[in-house]
Protein backbone atom coordinates (compact mmCIF):
# COMPACT_ATOMS: atom_id res chain seq x y z
CA UNK A 1 0.00 0.00 0.00
CA UNK A 2 3.06 2.30 0.02
CA UNK A 3 2.85 2.34 -3.78
CA UNK A 4 0.46 5.07 -5.04
CA UNK A 5 -0.54 2.98 -8.07
CA UNK A 6 -1.48 0.03 -5.86
CA UNK A 7 -3.51 2.31 -3.61
CA UNK A 8 -5.42 3.68 -6.59
CA UNK A 9 -6.07 0.24 -8.06
CA UNK A 10 -7.28 -0.97 -4.66
CA UNK A 11 -9.57 2.04 -4.27
CA UNK A 12 -11.04 1.44 -7.74
CA UNK A 13 -11.59 -2.22 -6.85
CA UNK A 14 -13.32 -1.34 -3.57
CA UNK A 15 -15.64 1.28 -5.07
CA UNK A 16 -16.59 -0.90 -8.02
CA UNK A 17 -17.15 -4.10 -6.01
CA UNK A 18 -19.26 -2.36 -3.38
CA UNK A 19 -21.51 -1.01 -6.11
CA UNK A 20 -21.69 -4.44 -7.76
CA UNK A 21 -22.78 -6.23 -4.58
CA UNK A 22 -25.35 -3.54 -3.81
CA UNK A 23 -26.84 -4.00 -7.29
CA UNK A 24 -26.87 -7.82 -7.15
CA UNK A 25 -28.63 -7.93 -3.77
CA UNK A 26 -31.08 -5.30 -5.01
CA UNK A 27 -31.79 -7.40 -8.14
CA UNK A 28 -32.43 -10.45 -5.96
CA UNK A 29 -34.79 -8.35 -3.85
CA UNK A 30 -36.71 -7.10 -6.91
CA UNK A 31 -36.97 -10.55 -8.49
CA UNK A 32 -37.99 -12.26 -5.23
CA UNK A 33 -40.33 -9.75 -3.61
CA UNK A 34 -41.67 -7.54 -6.41
CA UNK A 35 -41.76 -9.93 -9.36
CA UNK A 36 -42.55 -12.95 -7.15
CA UNK A 37 -40.27 -15.13 -9.27
CA UNK A 38 -39.94 -18.89 -8.83
CA UNK A 39 -36.84 -20.39 -7.15
CA UNK A 40 -35.50 -21.38 -10.59
CA UNK A 41 -35.92 -17.80 -11.84
CA UNK A 42 -34.14 -16.42 -8.77
CA UNK A 43 -31.25 -18.86 -9.35
CA UNK A 44 -31.21 -17.63 -12.95
CA UNK A 45 -30.01 -14.23 -11.71
CA UNK A 46 -26.66 -15.70 -10.65
CA UNK A 47 -26.46 -18.01 -13.65
CA UNK A 48 -26.96 -15.17 -16.17
CA UNK A 49 -24.50 -13.05 -14.18
CA UNK A 50 -21.73 -15.67 -14.45
CA UNK A 51 -22.38 -17.79 -17.54
CA UNK A 52 -21.57 -15.21 -20.29
CA UNK A 53 -18.01 -14.95 -18.92
CA UNK A 54 -17.49 -18.61 -19.78
CA UNK A 55 -18.10 -17.95 -23.47
CA UNK A 56 -16.95 -14.35 -23.95
CA UNK A 57 -13.74 -14.50 -21.89
CA UNK A 58 -11.57 -16.56 -24.28
CA UNK A 59 -12.22 -14.05 -27.08
CA UNK A 60 -11.94 -11.04 -24.74
CA UNK A 61 -8.49 -12.16 -23.60
CA UNK A 62 -7.17 -11.96 -27.17
CA UNK A 63 -8.14 -8.30 -27.42
CA UNK A 64 -6.98 -7.42 -23.91
CA UNK A 65 -3.52 -8.68 -24.90
CA UNK A 66 -3.62 -6.23 -27.84
CA UNK A 67 -5.20 -3.16 -26.24
CA UNK A 68 -3.95 -0.55 -23.80
CA UNK A 69 -4.70 -1.89 -20.31
CA UNK A 70 -5.72 1.43 -18.77
CA UNK A 71 -8.13 2.37 -21.57
CA UNK A 72 -9.62 -1.13 -21.53
CA UNK A 73 -10.41 -0.83 -17.81
CA UNK A 74 -11.83 2.69 -18.19
CA UNK A 75 -14.08 1.76 -21.14
CA UNK A 76 -15.27 -1.38 -19.35
CA UNK A 77 -16.22 0.62 -16.26
CA UNK A 78 -18.10 3.27 -18.24
CA UNK A 79 -19.94 0.67 -20.31
CA UNK A 80 -21.03 -1.24 -17.22
CA UNK A 81 -22.13 1.99 -15.57
CA UNK A 82 -24.41 2.73 -18.52
CA UNK A 83 -25.78 -0.83 -18.65
CA UNK A 84 -26.67 -0.97 -14.96
CA UNK A 85 -28.95 2.04 -15.39
CA UNK A 86 -31.13 -0.06 -17.72
CA UNK A 87 -32.28 -1.94 -14.62
CA UNK A 88 -34.18 1.19 -13.58
CA UNK A 89 -36.71 0.46 -16.35
CA UNK A 90 -36.73 -3.36 -16.19
CA UNK A 91 -40.17 -4.81 -15.48
CA UNK A 92 -39.71 -8.43 -16.58
CA UNK A 93 -37.32 -11.13 -15.34
CA UNK A 94 -35.94 -11.68 -18.85
CA UNK A 95 -35.02 -7.98 -19.07
CA UNK A 96 -32.97 -8.30 -15.90
CA UNK A 97 -31.32 -11.44 -17.28
CA UNK A 98 -30.39 -9.59 -20.48
CA UNK A 99 -28.83 -6.64 -18.62
CA UNK A 100 -26.85 -8.91 -16.28
CA UNK A 101 -25.62 -10.99 -19.21
CA UNK A 102 -24.42 -7.83 -21.00
CA UNK A 103 -22.63 -6.60 -17.87
CA UNK A 104 -21.00 -10.01 -17.48
CA UNK A 105 -19.77 -9.91 -21.08
CA UNK A 106 -18.18 -6.48 -20.54
CA UNK A 107 -16.62 -7.66 -17.27
CA UNK A 108 -14.87 -10.35 -19.32
CA UNK A 109 -12.62 -7.56 -20.62
CA UNK A 110 -12.07 -5.79 -17.30
CA UNK A 111 -10.83 -8.70 -15.18
CA UNK A 112 -7.90 -9.82 -17.37
CA UNK A 113 -6.91 -6.18 -17.85
CA UNK A 114 -6.83 -5.78 -14.07
CA UNK A 115 -4.67 -8.90 -13.76
CA UNK A 116 -2.19 -7.41 -16.24
CA UNK A 117 -2.27 -4.14 -14.30
CA UNK A 118 -1.38 -5.90 -11.04
CA UNK A 119 1.54 -7.68 -12.67
CA UNK A 120 2.69 -4.44 -14.32
CA UNK A 121 2.70 -2.21 -11.22
CA UNK A 122 3.58 -4.72 -8.46
CA UNK A 123 7.07 -6.26 -8.09
CA UNK A 124 7.10 -10.06 -8.34
CA UNK A 125 7.79 -10.50 -4.63
CA UNK A 126 4.53 -8.67 -3.89
CA UNK A 127 2.19 -10.55 -6.24
CA UNK A 128 0.79 -12.83 -3.54
CA UNK A 129 0.27 -9.91 -1.16
CA UNK A 130 -1.47 -7.91 -3.92
CA UNK A 131 -3.73 -10.83 -4.84
CA UNK A 132 -4.55 -11.36 -1.17
CA UNK A 133 -5.38 -7.67 -0.76
CA UNK A 134 -7.73 -7.74 -3.75
CA UNK A 135 -9.54 -10.72 -2.23
CA UNK A 136 -9.68 -8.96 1.16
CA UNK A 137 -11.42 -6.04 -0.52
CA UNK A 138 -13.89 -8.41 -2.17
CA UNK A 139 -14.68 -10.21 1.09
CA UNK A 140 -15.09 -7.00 3.13
CA UNK A 141 -17.52 -5.60 0.57
CA UNK A 142 -19.37 -8.93 0.30
CA UNK A 143 -19.79 -9.14 4.08
CA UNK A 144 -20.88 -5.51 4.48
CA UNK A 145 -23.05 -5.06 1.39
CA UNK A 146 -26.14 -7.12 2.42
CA UNK A 147 -26.75 -4.93 5.47
CA UNK A 148 -26.09 -1.73 3.50
CA UNK A 149 -28.39 -2.88 0.69
CA UNK A 150 -31.16 -3.67 3.15
CA UNK A 151 -31.03 -0.18 4.61
CA UNK A 152 -30.88 1.52 1.20
CA UNK A 153 -33.88 -0.48 -0.05
CA UNK A 154 -35.82 0.37 3.13
CA UNK A 155 -35.07 4.08 2.91
CA UNK A 156 -34.86 4.80 -0.83
CA UNK A 157 -35.93 1.66 -2.75
CA UNK A 158 -34.02 -0.76 -4.97
CA UNK A 159 -33.35 1.83 -7.69
CA UNK A 160 -31.01 3.70 -5.34
CA UNK A 161 -28.69 0.68 -5.40
CA UNK A 162 -28.60 0.67 -9.20
CA UNK A 163 -27.82 4.41 -9.32
CA UNK A 164 -25.03 3.98 -6.75
CA UNK A 165 -23.59 1.07 -8.75
CA UNK A 166 -23.51 3.21 -11.90
CA UNK A 167 -21.81 5.99 -9.92
CA UNK A 168 -19.26 3.49 -8.55
CA UNK A 169 -18.27 2.49 -12.09
CA UNK A 170 -17.77 6.14 -13.06
CA UNK A 171 -15.68 6.68 -9.91
CA UNK A 172 -13.61 3.58 -10.65
CA UNK A 173 -13.00 4.78 -14.22
CA UNK A 174 -11.88 8.15 -12.87
CA UNK A 175 -9.42 6.54 -10.46
CA UNK A 176 -7.96 4.28 -13.17
CA UNK A 177 -7.69 7.28 -15.54
CA UNK A 178 -5.41 8.99 -13.00
CA UNK A 179 -2.99 6.01 -13.04
CA UNK A 180 0.04 5.30 -15.19
CA UNK A 181 0.22 1.62 -16.18
CA UNK A 182 3.19 0.56 -18.29
CA UNK A 183 2.92 -3.02 -19.49
CA UNK A 184 6.31 -4.80 -19.50
CA UNK A 185 7.39 -5.29 -23.11
CA UNK A 186 4.77 -2.82 -24.34
CA UNK A 187 1.44 -3.58 -25.99
CA UNK A 188 1.98 -6.00 -28.88
CA UNK A 189 0.42 -5.12 -32.23
CA UNK A 190 -1.18 -7.91 -34.24
CA UNK A 191 -3.28 -8.11 -37.35
CA UNK A 192 -7.03 -8.58 -36.99
CA UNK A 193 -6.88 -11.84 -38.94
CA UNK A 194 -4.80 -13.47 -36.21
CA UNK A 195 -7.58 -13.34 -33.60
CA UNK A 196 -8.48 -17.03 -33.95
CA UNK A 197 -4.80 -18.02 -34.02
CA UNK A 198 -4.13 -16.03 -30.85
CA UNK A 199 -7.11 -17.56 -29.06
CA UNK A 200 -6.03 -21.04 -30.08
CA UNK A 201 -2.43 -20.42 -28.99
CA UNK A 202 -3.63 -19.22 -25.59
CA UNK A 203 -5.71 -22.35 -24.97
CA UNK A 204 -2.92 -24.57 -26.29
CA UNK A 205 -0.39 -22.89 -24.00
CA UNK A 206 -2.54 -23.60 -20.94
CA UNK A 207 -3.23 -27.24 -21.66
CA UNK A 208 0.34 -28.04 -22.69
CA UNK A 209 1.69 -26.37 -19.54
CA UNK A 210 1.15 -28.94 -16.79
CA UNK A 211 1.51 -26.49 -13.90
CA UNK A 212 -0.98 -24.01 -15.35
CA UNK A 213 -3.45 -26.70 -16.36
CA UNK A 214 -3.49 -28.23 -12.90
CA UNK A 215 -3.64 -24.82 -11.24
CA UNK A 216 -6.80 -23.99 -13.19
CA UNK A 217 -8.33 -27.41 -12.44
CA UNK A 218 -7.62 -26.91 -8.72
CA UNK A 219 -9.22 -23.46 -8.62
CA UNK A 220 -12.23 -24.77 -10.53
CA UNK A 221 -12.62 -27.69 -8.12
CA UNK A 222 -12.48 -25.37 -5.11
CA UNK A 223 -15.08 -22.95 -6.47
CA UNK A 224 -17.29 -25.81 -7.71
CA UNK A 225 -17.36 -27.13 -4.14
CA UNK A 226 -18.19 -23.71 -2.70
CA UNK A 227 -21.11 -23.30 -5.12
CA UNK A 228 -22.37 -26.80 -4.28
CA UNK A 229 -22.15 -25.85 -0.61
CA UNK A 230 -23.83 -22.45 -1.04
CA UNK A 231 -26.62 -23.79 -3.27
CA UNK A 232 -27.63 -26.39 -0.65
CA UNK A 233 -26.82 -24.60 2.62
CA UNK A 234 -30.34 -23.23 3.10
CA UNK A 235 -31.83 -26.71 2.81
CA UNK A 236 -29.01 -28.09 4.99
CA UNK A 237 -29.92 -25.62 7.74
CA UNK A 238 -33.60 -26.49 7.44
CA UNK A 239 -33.44 -30.29 7.11
CA UNK A 240 -30.16 -31.35 8.77
CA UNK A 241 -29.56 -28.74 11.47
CA UNK A 242 -33.31 -28.20 12.05
CA UNK A 243 -32.81 -24.45 12.53
CA UNK A 244 -34.65 -21.30 11.49
CA UNK A 245 -33.81 -19.45 8.28
CA UNK A 246 -31.78 -16.77 10.09
CA UNK A 247 -28.95 -19.27 10.60
CA UNK A 248 -28.66 -19.69 6.83
CA UNK A 249 -27.39 -16.11 6.54
CA UNK A 250 -25.08 -16.57 9.53
CA UNK A 251 -23.37 -19.61 8.01
CA UNK A 252 -23.09 -17.79 4.69
CA UNK A 253 -21.30 -14.92 6.42
CA UNK A 254 -18.90 -17.35 8.10
CA UNK A 255 -17.59 -18.44 4.69
CA UNK A 256 -16.74 -14.81 3.92
CA UNK A 257 -15.10 -14.33 7.32
CA UNK A 258 -13.03 -17.50 6.83
CA UNK A 259 -11.87 -16.28 3.43
CA UNK A 260 -10.99 -12.89 4.88
CA UNK A 261 -8.89 -14.50 7.62
CA UNK A 262 -7.19 -16.68 5.00
CA UNK A 263 -6.16 -13.67 2.94
CA UNK A 264 -4.39 -12.15 5.95
CA UNK A 265 -2.49 -15.36 6.72
CA UNK A 266 -1.63 -16.63 3.24
CA UNK A 267 1.31 -14.27 2.70
CA UNK A 268 2.88 -15.38 6.00
CA UNK A 269 2.43 -19.06 5.11
CA UNK A 270 4.06 -18.50 1.71
CA UNK A 271 7.37 -17.69 3.43
CA UNK A 272 7.82 -21.30 4.51
CA UNK A 273 5.63 -23.28 2.09
CA UNK A 274 5.48 -23.61 -1.67
CA UNK A 275 2.48 -22.20 -3.51
CA UNK A 276 1.71 -25.65 -4.91
CA UNK A 277 1.56 -27.27 -1.48
CA UNK A 278 -0.52 -24.38 -0.13
CA UNK A 279 -2.98 -24.81 -2.98
CA UNK A 280 -3.31 -28.55 -2.37
CA UNK A 281 -3.61 -27.99 1.39
CA UNK A 282 -6.48 -25.64 0.63
CA UNK A 283 -8.24 -28.32 -1.43
CA UNK A 284 -7.82 -30.80 1.43
CA UNK A 285 -9.21 -28.17 3.81
CA UNK A 286 -12.29 -27.49 1.70
CA UNK A 287 -12.86 -31.24 1.34
CA UNK A 288 -12.51 -31.76 5.09
CA UNK A 289 -14.97 -28.95 5.83
CA UNK A 290 -17.58 -30.34 3.42
CA UNK A 291 -17.04 -33.84 4.88
CA UNK A 292 -17.74 -32.55 8.40
CA UNK A 293 -20.99 -31.03 7.16
CA UNK A 294 -21.94 -34.40 5.66
CA UNK A 295 -21.14 -36.29 8.86
CA UNK A 296 -22.56 -34.09 11.62
CA UNK A 297 -25.77 -32.27 12.40
CA UNK A 298 -24.35 -29.99 15.08
CA UNK A 299 -24.38 -26.19 14.76
CA UNK A 300 -20.98 -25.65 16.42
CA UNK A 301 -19.28 -28.23 14.19
CA UNK A 302 -21.04 -26.84 11.11
CA UNK A 303 -19.89 -23.31 11.99
CA UNK A 304 -16.26 -24.40 12.43
CA UNK A 305 -16.42 -26.39 9.18
CA UNK A 306 -17.87 -23.39 7.32
CA UNK A 307 -15.10 -21.11 8.60
CA UNK A 308 -12.58 -23.73 7.51
CA UNK A 309 -14.08 -23.91 4.03
CA UNK A 310 -13.75 -20.15 3.59
CA UNK A 311 -10.18 -20.13 4.93
CA UNK A 312 -9.15 -23.02 2.66
CA UNK A 313 -10.72 -21.48 -0.45
CA UNK A 314 -8.60 -18.38 0.14
CA UNK A 315 -5.45 -20.55 0.17
CA UNK A 316 -6.46 -22.21 -3.11
CA UNK A 317 -7.46 -19.07 -5.00
CA UNK A 318 -4.62 -16.75 -3.92
CA UNK A 319 -1.90 -19.39 -4.36
CA UNK A 320 -3.31 -20.37 -7.76
CA UNK A 321 -3.58 -16.76 -8.97
CA UNK A 322 0.02 -16.06 -7.95
CA UNK A 323 1.28 -19.27 -9.60
CA UNK A 324 -0.58 -18.37 -12.77
CA UNK A 325 0.97 -14.90 -12.87
CA UNK A 326 4.43 -16.36 -12.35
CA UNK A 327 4.07 -19.05 -15.03
CA UNK A 328 2.48 -16.92 -17.77
CA UNK A 329 4.46 -14.74 -20.22
CA UNK A 330 3.30 -11.12 -20.05
CA UNK A 331 2.20 -11.11 -23.70
CA UNK A 332 -0.26 -13.95 -22.94
CA UNK A 333 -1.61 -12.71 -19.59
CA UNK A 334 -4.92 -11.56 -21.07
CA UNK A 335 -5.63 -14.86 -22.80
CA UNK A 336 -4.59 -17.03 -19.86
CA UNK A 337 -6.55 -14.95 -17.33
CA UNK A 338 -9.61 -14.99 -19.60
CA UNK A 339 -9.40 -18.76 -20.03
CA UNK A 340 -9.18 -19.07 -16.25
CA UNK A 341 -12.31 -16.90 -15.90
CA UNK A 342 -14.10 -19.06 -18.43
CA UNK A 343 -13.31 -22.31 -16.61
CA UNK A 344 -14.16 -20.84 -13.19
CA UNK A 345 -17.47 -19.46 -14.43
CA UNK A 346 -18.43 -22.84 -15.87
CA UNK A 347 -17.38 -24.59 -12.65
CA UNK A 348 -19.52 -22.27 -10.50
CA UNK A 349 -22.56 -22.52 -12.78
CA UNK A 350 -22.14 -26.31 -12.83
CA UNK A 351 -22.00 -26.31 -9.03
CA UNK A 352 -25.21 -24.28 -8.82
CA UNK A 353 -27.06 -26.43 -11.35
CA UNK A 354 -25.75 -29.89 -10.47
CA UNK A 355 -25.89 -29.67 -6.69
CA UNK A 356 -29.68 -29.64 -6.65
CA UNK A 357 -29.95 -32.60 -9.03
CA UNK A 358 -27.38 -34.64 -7.06
CA UNK A 359 -29.06 -33.83 -3.74
CA UNK A 360 -32.40 -34.80 -5.22
CA UNK A 361 -31.03 -38.28 -6.04
CA UNK A 362 -28.82 -39.08 -3.04
CA UNK A 363 -29.70 -36.41 -0.46
CA UNK A 364 -27.77 -33.42 0.85
CA UNK A 365 -25.36 -35.53 2.86
CA UNK A 366 -24.68 -37.67 -0.20
CA UNK A 367 -24.01 -34.58 -2.33
CA UNK A 368 -21.56 -33.30 0.27
CA UNK A 369 -19.84 -36.72 0.43
CA UNK A 370 -19.38 -36.67 -3.36
CA UNK A 371 -18.02 -33.12 -3.27
CA UNK A 372 -15.58 -33.91 -0.44
CA UNK A 373 -14.35 -37.05 -2.20
CA UNK A 374 -13.72 -35.14 -5.43
CA UNK A 375 -11.69 -32.48 -3.64
CA UNK A 376 -9.59 -34.95 -1.64
CA UNK A 377 -8.85 -36.94 -4.81
CA UNK A 378 -7.73 -33.87 -6.77
CA UNK A 379 -5.70 -32.69 -3.77
CA UNK A 380 -3.93 -36.04 -3.44
CA UNK A 381 -3.04 -36.15 -7.15
CA UNK A 382 -1.89 -32.53 -6.98
CA UNK A 383 0.25 -33.10 -3.91
CA UNK A 384 2.01 -35.94 -5.73
CA UNK A 385 2.52 -33.78 -8.84
CA UNK A 386 3.98 -30.93 -6.78
CA UNK A 387 6.40 -33.37 -5.14
CA UNK A 388 7.44 -34.81 -8.52
CA UNK A 389 7.99 -31.34 -9.96
CA UNK A 390 10.15 -30.29 -7.00
CA UNK A 391 12.21 -33.49 -7.34
CA UNK A 392 12.68 -32.84 -11.07
CA UNK A 393 13.77 -29.24 -10.40
CA UNK A 394 16.23 -30.46 -7.74
pLDDT digits (tens, 9 = 90+) for 83-130: 999 999 888 989 999 999 999 899 888 888 888 888 888 887 787 788
DSSP string, 278-341: HHHHHHHHHHHHHHHHHH---HHHHHHHHHHHHHHHHHHHHHHHHHHHHHS-GGGHHHHHHHHH
CATH of the domain at 294: 1.20.1250.20
Residue 31 sits in the same domain as residue 76: yes
Residue 101 sits in the same domain as residue 212: no
Looking at 134, 158, 181, which one is the last position of a domain? Answer: 181
Q: Are 307 and 257 in contact (CB under 8 A)?
A: yes
Residue 277 included in any domain = yes
Residue 244 sits in the same domain as residue 127: no
Looking at 129, 148, 181, which one is the last position of a domain? Answer: 181
Residue 172 included in any domain = yes
Q: Are 10 and 309 in contact (CB under 8 A)?
A: no
Residue 86 sits in the same domain as residue 203: no
Cα separation of 348 and 228, whole Å? 8
Residue 110 sits in the same domain as residue 226: no
Residue 178 has pLDDT above 80, yes or no: yes
The pLDDT value recorded for residue 274 is 79
Residue 145 has pLDDT above 90, yes or no: no
Residue 32 has pLDDT above 90, yes or no: no
The pLDDT value recorded for residue 269 is 79
Cα separation of 2 and 5, whole Å? 9
HEC readout, 337-364: HHHHHHHHHHHHHHHHHHHHHHHHHHHH
Structural domain count of the chain: 2
In Å, how far are 21, 62, 180 from 28, measured between CA atoms? 11, 33, 37
> Integer distance in angstroms from the first to the last C-alpha of the chain?
35
Return the minimum-mean-pLDDT range out of 243-257, 272-286, 304-318: 243-257
Q: Are 201 and 120 in contact (CB under 8 A)?
A: no
The pLDDT value recorded for residue 377 is 86
In Å, how far are 41, 165, 382 from 387, measured between CA atoms? 46, 46, 9
| 65 DSSP assignment | T
Cα separation of 341 and 109, whole Å? 10
Quickly count helices (H) and strands (E) in the chain: 12, 0
Cα separation of 257 and 261, whole Å? 6
Residue 159 sits in the same domain as residue 210: no
Residue 375 sits in the same domain as residue 291: yes
Q: Of residues 4 and 189, which shows the higher confidence score?
A: 4
For range 126-141, the mean pLDDT: 78
Cα separation of 134 and 322, whole Å? 12
Cα 194 from chain centroid (whole Å)? 30
Read off the pLDDT of residues 285-330 as tens digits, 9 standing for 90 and up. 989 998 998 898 888 998 899 899 889 888 888 888 788 777 777 7
Cα separation of 262 and 51, whole Å? 27
Residue 234 has pLDDT above 70, yes or no: no
Residue 186 included in any domain = no
Residue 189 included in any domain = no
Looking at 117, 148, 181, which one is the last position of a domain? Answer: 181
Q: Are 352 and 43 in contact (CB under 8 A)?
A: yes
Residue 219 sits in the same domain as residue 291: yes
Residue 199 sits in the same domain as residue 174: no
Residue 99 included in any domain = yes
pTM comes to: 0.73
Residue 52 sits in the same domain as residue 165: yes
Instruction: Return the percentage of the chain with pLDDT > 70, whole number.
Output: 89
Residue 334 included in any domain = yes
Residue 19 included in any domain = yes
Residue 284 sits in the same domain as residue 166: no
Cα separation of 319 and 267, whole Å? 9
Q: Which domain holds residue 308?
A: 194-389
For range 184-196, the mean pLDDT: 57
The pLDDT value recorded for residue 83 is 94
Residue 2 included in any domain = yes
Long-range contacts of 193-196 (CB under 8 A, 24+ apart): 195/59, 195/62, 195/63
Residue 154 sits in the same domain as residue 209: no
Q: Are 341 and 111 in contact (CB under 8 A)?
A: yes
Amino acid sequence: MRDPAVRKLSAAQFVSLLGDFLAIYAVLSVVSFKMHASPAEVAGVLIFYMLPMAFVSPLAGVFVDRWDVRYTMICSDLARGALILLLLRATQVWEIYAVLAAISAVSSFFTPAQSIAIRSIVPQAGWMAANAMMMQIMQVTQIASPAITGQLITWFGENSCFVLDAASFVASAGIVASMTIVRAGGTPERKAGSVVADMTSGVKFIFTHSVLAFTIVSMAAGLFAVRCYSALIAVYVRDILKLQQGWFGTLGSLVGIGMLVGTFIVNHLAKTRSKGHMMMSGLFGVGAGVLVLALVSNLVAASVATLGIGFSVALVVISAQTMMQGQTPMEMMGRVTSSLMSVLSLAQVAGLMMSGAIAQEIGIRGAYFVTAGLLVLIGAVGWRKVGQRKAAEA
